Amino acid sequence: MAKKKKYNKHSAVPKREFNPQNDSVRAKKYLGQHFLVDETIANDISQTLQLEGYKNVLEIGPGTGVMTKYLLEKDINLVAMELDSESVEYLINNYPNKNLQILEADFLKEDLQDYFGTEQFGITGNFPYNISTQIVFKMLEIKQQVPEFSGMFQKEVAMRICAKEGSKTYGILSVLTQAFYDAEYLFTVPPTVFNPPPKVESGVLRLRRKASLDIDCSELMLYKVVKTAFQQRRKTLRNSLKSFNLSDKIKEDAIFGQRPEQLSVAQFIALTQKLEADAISTHQ
């Protein structure tokens, strides 16, 4: 892994001769880059964080800063995390600001406490499609510090995150996200506002952390139950959860006659509680 770099107004940043003729950053396909070029949409996305009770914000994948400049209009401490060194150089030259820290780093590999300590921070961005679900799962690992999360995904992924039970798109990502966050699909973005344009529509969402993260069951067990159930989503839970060594008594519970997409998040939590109690009674 290349050594990460971070820059802010007070850092000893090497002097660069800025040449406007070279003032262009190429989108890299291997990084999944599609640069948003519509100022109105960029501003709209920058307004999605409600910033209640915190001032730290992490922007993932700022690219050439089309959203960054609108975020900097707010009374926040902004960290912009970008993997592309060409984009980082562009940001350094174009967005000098005492409230902006620019990091050349990979969000998926970083310990965010290096930058925020134990303080709360929101996350936003125009997320690379190829790692967007990984970004959500990492955010869930640090949910105690993230009261809000918003940004742009491939539309299909955004709708999956926000889907409710009974929907064909409802699945692992829906349940595990909504166990801890209220999810809201905000608006759709067409391919024409990007350079280069993607082949699909995009969707913007907002997640707001629930008042309590206590789900009254083991988080690891919930993850295991949800993932196992949806791996065979056409089967009833009685069949898809056989690996949990269900007792004859618990198999009679009506919930096991349902398929995973029929269960709400609350019902998945209740199901996990039943399985934990069943495991305890079986081994007594």
CATH number, position 274 = 1.10.8.100
- Please state, in angstroms and rounded to a whole number, the distance separating the CA atoms of residues 178 and 135: 15
Q: Please, what is the angle between helix 219-231 and helix 265-282, to 10°?
A: 110
Structural domain range at position 238: 219-282
Residues 121, 142 within the same domain: yes
Residue 146 has pLDDT above 60, yes or no: yes
pLDDT at residue number 27: 60
Residue 22 has pLDDT above 60, yes or no: no
Average pLDDT for the chain = 89
Q: What is the CATH number of the domain that holds 31?
A: 3.40.50.150
Sorted by sequence, the CB contacts under 8 Å of residue 3 that are 6+ apart come out as: none
Residues 181, 237 within the same domain: no
Coil, strand or helix: which one is 130?
A: helix
CB atoms within 10 A of CB 64: 24
Read off the pLDDT band of 15 (50, 70, 90): very low
Q: Which of 22-36, 98-112, 187-201, 265-279 has the lowest average pLDDT?
A: 22-36
CB atoms within 10 A of CB 66: 19
- With respect to residue 214, please indicate whether it lies within any of the assigned structural domains: no
Share of the chain above pLDDT 70, in %: 88
Query: Are 51 and 73 within 8 A, CB to CB?
Result: no
Read off the pLDDT band of 198 (50, 70, 90): confident
What sign does the dihedral 15-25-79-108 (CA atoms) show? negative
Q: Which residues pair with 77 in a beta bridge?
A: 56
Domains: count for the chain: 2
Residue found under tokens 């964080």: 49
Residue found under tokens 């159930």: 229
pLDDT at residue number 23: 52
Residues 87, 159 within the same domain: yes
pLDDT at residue number 68: 95
pLDDT at residue number 167: 95
- Please state, in angstroms and rounded to a whole number, the distance separating the CA atoms of residues 146 and 123: 7
- Please state, in angstroms and rounded to a whole number, the distance separating the CA atoms of residues 143 and 223: 15
Over residues 64-121, the pLDDT tens digits come to 999 999 999 999 999 999 988 888 999 999 888 778 999 999 999 999 999 999 999 9
pLDDT at residue number 99: 85
- Final residue of a structural domain among 188, 209, 230: 209
For the residues 199-214, what does the mean pLDDT come to? Answer: 96
Which one, of 182, 205, 157, lies nearest residue 265 by Cα? 182
